[in-house]
Structure 1
């Protein structure tokens, strides 16, 4: 079952809880499809199943709280934490992934936390890695809050308005598509009849000529 179909089958309040919970757990450093859940919930809000405001609020809260807990875990666990995660999730926490994320943090600092929200790898690693590298918490918190709101709120708003616009366009397009289909069907029918008439005339010509030659010989 598609994520959007699964979300549509449960009450609205639980959709908010799932959105905040999945994004929060993902921000702890556990690879979950947080972005997929957020986009699916935002699409449901465009269909008036849930409120886009509460989707954005719950997603932002989950991102901020999850990243903060991830920061605390990373600060306490340090490098041994990433070694254990690499053994359990080699596709997400392998040495190459950690090295790339550390280079990004060394170069961009708190901006890595902010923009990391928009990048799949850093979205999982930002909190724990910032804690393990002992980034000052106040700097992390500012970047975490701003990044969480920008990513969750921005994504919800963009998907919501795109969904509303697409729904209106498709409703108008349905009539256009019907007219085009009818015209195409009529045109195809006339073309087939015309070609069939030509084939029949072409086939009758030689037959008539043969009939005429037989008659004349007689």
Structure 2
């Protein structure tokens, strides 16, 4: 019998209990090219199931990682082929309004390719970073490298915490999300410092 899921994870119990690994892969996959799906939530729920012996944590992590990378690359292809016109026409059906897309694109442009890694942990950017990378013409291999790193960190962190925390994951998740903004600000400042250092070094050399 499947273990009960705590708090906000409970609505995913029928889906995860019936489809198991397929549910994890499918939900994470579609979330990563813009569809409003609970990818992070189902990863947490699968981690709790794995901790209770219902699923294998290695399989959960491997499937979630593969789905995350493939999903973002589908988003990249959409952005690369369809461009802004495609996003502006169809994005509203997945809550990607022109205003929201423009804000995400501006943020992406300011911080460069490294933001692809951090984007995995930011609601909104997690679902759109592939599309934005495609529309801005980011080189695919560079995107793939940063995206794979971000997916590995994201899956590794949430799957491990859910596996170990069990029923306490929702409280732990709320605490982490509370301080997430400060961590992201610190990461952005660190990226800015390295960018400025690189610029000054190049300027000095010339």
Normalised to the residue count of structure 1, the TM-score between the two structures is 0.69
Runs of 4+ in structure 1 displaced over 4 angstroms?
Answer: none
| Cα distance in 2 for residues equivalent to 1:74 and 1:16 | 28
> What is the CA distance between 1:7 and its match in structure 2?
4.1
- After superposition, residues 89-100 of structure 1 pair within 5 angstroms as 89=94, 92-100=95-103
Paired residue for 1:16? 21
- Is contact 2:34–2:96 with CA below 8 Å preserved after alignment? no
Is the radius of gyration larger for structure 1 or structure 2? 1
More helix by share: 1
1:60-104, Cα deviation, whole Å (9 max, x unpaired): 000001111110111000011211234324xx3123211221121
Paired residue for 1:84? 89
Which ranges in structure 1 are unaligned for 5 or more consecutive residues? Answer: 168-218
Paired residue for 2:47? 42
SS in structure 1 of the partner of residue 53 of structure 2: coil
Paired residue for 2:58? 53
> What is the CA distance between 1:110 and its match in structure 2?
1.4
- Is contact 2:26–2:67 with CA below 8 Å preserved after alignment? yes
Normalised to the residue count of structure 2, the TM-score between the two structures is 0.72
Alignment RMSD: 1.9
Paired residue for 1:122? 125
- Aligned residues, how many? 161
Paired residue for 1:141? 144
